[in-house]
């Protein structure tokens, strides 16, 4: 593993690291903030999964999470959103290929050799962090934005017991019925729509739910709201009587201004679950 950079911030360390990933068969880059408390022992870990077109860098520099994580004494990891490099398949559209991994394991060509982001973010990268950094494998939570909100919700419900809490900012909530989902699932997973269901937060909420607290924020002025379908997830949560909140935030859009506004509340929400 190569250290790309390390900077002191809010008493802790914001690092960027690169490694050869076996799951994606290419080099991957991720960012990890460790609070000052990590100098003295293991700390809880919050995962932040980013949205379409993003890398590890977007949330690291724009979301403002480090200050609140430092105060709460928790680490936060920002993985990349897709494999990258020469030989990795891509598409001219912004919502397919590089920057648009959708946190699935692709089974179709030309995507299958590298686009295995589910294995990367739920298996390989957590094992790497546990081996090299003072993070507590038993105290982890997850959040994300848009495509990353989709990834966070599906990971939380498909991996019971892994995460203490889950939150999301404007998640793609019902991708099997949206152009942000159907297009990508068909490309990555093929025509059999039965294989898509385990990557749909609304369907997973109906069938499984989450054994822990849930917090979702959605801006009312989000220009992508018809693609995100928060109303479907709200109905599923209500039908299941899932403990949690889905809050409609008046006037907010899909940008990082929205996320940075409510990041303090999301970190506090996770800190309460992680610290018990």
Catalytic residues: 146, 222, 254
The torsion angles phi and psi of 138, rounded to 5 degrees, stand at -95, -5
- How far is residue 130's CA from residue 136's CA, in Å, rounded to a whole number? 7
Spatial separation of the C-alpha atoms in residues 105 and 189, rounded to whole Å = 8
Instruction: Tell me the C-alpha distance between 156 and 201, whole Å.
Output: 10
Alpha-carbon distances of 9 from 6, 23, 27, 100, rounded to whole Å: 10, 31, 26, 29
Q: Where are the beta strands (DSSP E) in 153-237?
A: 166-169, 214-219
**DSSP class of residue 120?**
I
């Amino acid at each position: 593993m190569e250290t790309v950079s390390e900077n002191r911030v809010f008493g802790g360390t914001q690092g960027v690291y690169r490694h050869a990933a076996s799951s994606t068969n290419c080099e991957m880059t991720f960012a990890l903030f460790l609070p000052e408390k990590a100098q003295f022992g293991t700390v809880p870990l919050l995962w932040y999964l980013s949205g379409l077109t993003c890398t590890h860098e977007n949330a690291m520099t724009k979301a403002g999470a480090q200050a609140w994580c430092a105060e709460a004494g928790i680490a936060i990891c920002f993985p990349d959103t897709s494999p990258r490099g020469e030989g990795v398949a891509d598409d001219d559209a912004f919502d397919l290929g590089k920057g648009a991994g959708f946190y699935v394991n692709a089974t179709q060509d030309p995507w299958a050799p590298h686009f295995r982001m589910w294995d990367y973010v739920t298996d390989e990268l957590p094992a790497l962090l546990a081996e090299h950094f003072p993070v507590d494998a038993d105290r982890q939570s997850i959040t994300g934005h848009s495509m990353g909100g989709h990834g966070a919700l599906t990971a939380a419900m498909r991996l019971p017991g892994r995460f203490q809490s889950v939150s999301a900012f404007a998640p793609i909530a019902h991708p099997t019925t949206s152009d942000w989902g159907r297009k990508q699932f068909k490309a990555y997973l093929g025509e059999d729509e039965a294989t898509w269901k385990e990557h749909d937060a609304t369907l997973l909420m109906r069938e499984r739910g989450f054994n822990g607290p849930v917090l979702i924020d959605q801006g009312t002025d989000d220009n992508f709201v018809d693609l995100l379908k928060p109303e479907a997830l709200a109905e599923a949560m209500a039908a299941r009587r899932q403990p949690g909140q889905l809050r409609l935030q008046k006037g907010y859009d899909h940008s990082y201004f929205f996320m940075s506004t409510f990041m303090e509340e999301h970190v506090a929400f996770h800190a309460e679950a992680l610290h018990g």
